[in-house]
Structures are given as structure tokens and as C-alpha cells.
Amino acid sequence: MAEHTTTTLRVRDTTITLRRAGSGRALLVLHGASDCGMWFPWLDNLAASHDVILPEHPGFGSSDAPPWLDTIADLANFNLDLLDDLAIASLDLVGFDLGGWIAAELAVRTGARLSSLTLVGAAGLHVEGVAQVDPFLGSDEERIRDLFHQQECATAFLQRVLDPALEDTRLKNETTAARLTWAPRGHDPHLRKWLHRIKAPTLVIWGAHDRLYPKEHAVAYGKLIPGAKVTIIPGCGHLPHIEQPDAFAAVLKSFLEAMRIAA
């Protein structure tokens, strides 16, 4: 099992926290709003074959909250600057939830640099007629429980993220997420127009019982990104990497290994 390092890095005018482990093909992981910069065991497994890079987004966690941060597109462009600073010319890209939206925006903007794209429960699209829970309504506990199908997993996650010592960080994360996704709620009406520009092999992974972005959103991404493959993981909600980590890791690792062989 690889041990990750945690450092700070200044990109343009913004200092961010960066976690990193392993060696090999670069794998950029873009976290969601609810699991901000957390390092999970499945990342250690991937670090056996990849240089796993997990930045904390500007405005989240211990990273700076810069005055220029207004849109998800800002974060996509920031990550392109990050890749330039790290001198990464080719990479695999994985994005979760809000990070999946960032990853899609990034993939629209860059071509040859991207070896593969994986979107997990990604925000960014609106699907007409599909009911969703609203992450900005209800208490912190209700918001977290809505992310899970198995409530015992929700209880364990709540104990981790609702630690009173993390209250200031949690408020910072929620404020930034609201600033970026409040209106229109959780999507960009223009994104679907440009997803055809994504040429990298793409895997869409979704929880079968996702209530925040139901699986119809996975189908929409699969139709709009040329050649995308959609995998629905049973027995989980919005966070398959937390609720069904073994099944999730197996699907992702198989896809990345196929990409490595094909390269």
C-alpha cells in the first residue's frame, strides 16, 4: 500500500493543498463537494500503477478561496494551469460529483493531453422530468443521508464529516459549493452543447440509487459523450466509491488497465 504525501502548491495567485502517491501514468482525481480532498484506500491501490494526484479545489478545505472563483469553468481552467505547473503532458482524469462536472468542462477544453476520462455521479447536466433531492435544503444530516442508499454507511460518514472540529471547513465548502452551483441548480445549460468535443475514452460510473443525480443523468452523459461506456453499480447512492468501494475500484481499475494496455 502506497503512502500519500500532503503538500501545498501555489498556482497563479492561489495556494492549494495537494495529496499525491505512487508512480507511473498520471491520474488526476477531482473530488466532490461532500468528500473534499479525502484520501480513500482505493486510491492507495491505484497508486501501485499510477501517479495519483488529488488537489483540493480552490475554495474548499485548506485551499485558498480566491476572489476570481465564480464558475465551474474557472476550476476547469485552474486545473489546466495546475497540469502546466506540474509539467503533466498526458493523464487519466477521474471526477466525482462537482469534480465530475469540472472534469467534463476540462475534457471539453483539452484533447491530446487526456488519455481517459471517468465521471462518477457527475453534476453538470439537467435531465428534464427527473426528480432530484436538493442539496441546499434540509439539515446537514439530511443532506448527507440523501447521498446514501445504505443508511449504515451514511451514519459512519456523518461521524467523519460532521466532526465539530471541522465546522469551519464544512461551512467554507458549503459556501463555495453554493456560490458555484446555486443557479441554475447543479448544472450548466451550455455544457451539453460541447460534450461532443470529448475524444478521450470515457467511462461513466453511477450508483443505481443516486437521488442527488439519478441514473438518468448517467444515461445522458453516455449519449452526449461519443463512445462513452456507462456502468451502474447496484446497492449504492451518490457515492459508490464510499458505499460500494470494492465494486467501484474493480470497475475503475479494469478501465484504467485497459487504457494502459491500449496506450
Q: pLDDT tens-digit profile of 194-226?
A: 999 999 999 999 999 999 999 999 999 999 999
Residue 193 to residue 132: CA distance in whole angstroms:
22
In this structure, are residues 103 and 122 in contact, taking their beta carbons and an 8 Å threshold?
yes
CATH tag for 5-262 (out of 3.40.50.720, 3.40.50.1820, 3.90.1150.10, 2.40.37.10): 3.40.50.1820
pLDDT at 56 over 90: yes
In this structure, are residues 161 and 144 in contact, taking their beta carbons and an 8 Å threshold?
yes
- Reported as a pLDDT band with limits 50, 70 and 90, residue 261 is confident
Residue 16 to residue 233: CA distance in whole angstroms:
32
- Which of 1-5, 24-28, 167-171, 202-206 shows the lowest per-residue confidence on average (mean pLDDT)? 1-5
**Cα separations (Å) of 20 from 13, 99, 160, 183, 244?**
21, 17, 22, 33, 23
**Rg of the chain over CA atoms, in angstroms?**
17
Model pLDDT for residues 108-141, shown as the tens digit of each residue: 998 789 999 999 999 999 999 999 999 998 888 9
Top-confidence residue, 95 or 261: 95
Where in the chain are the domains? Answer: 5-262
pLDDT at 87 over 50: yes
Q: Tell me how many helices (H) and strands (E) the chain has.
A: 9, 8
Residue 243 to residue 45: CA distance in whole angstroms:
17
In this structure, are residues 45 and 18 in contact, taking their beta carbons and an 8 Å threshold?
no
pLDDT at 21 over 80: yes
From 245, 242, 247, select the one nearest 232 (Cα to Cα). 247
C-alpha cell at 173: 465548502
Q: What is the pLDDT of residue 1?
A: 47
In this structure, are residues 99 and 182 in contact, taking their beta carbons and an 8 Å threshold?
no
If you search the block for the grid coordinates 495556494, which residue do you land on?
A: 15
**Extended strands (E) in 81-219:** 91-96, 114-120, 202-207
* Prediction pTM value: 0.96
- Main-chain dihedrals φ then ψ at residue 172, nearest 5 degrees: -60, -45
Q: What is the pLDDT of residue 2?
A: 59
Q: What is the pLDDT of residue 29?
A: 98
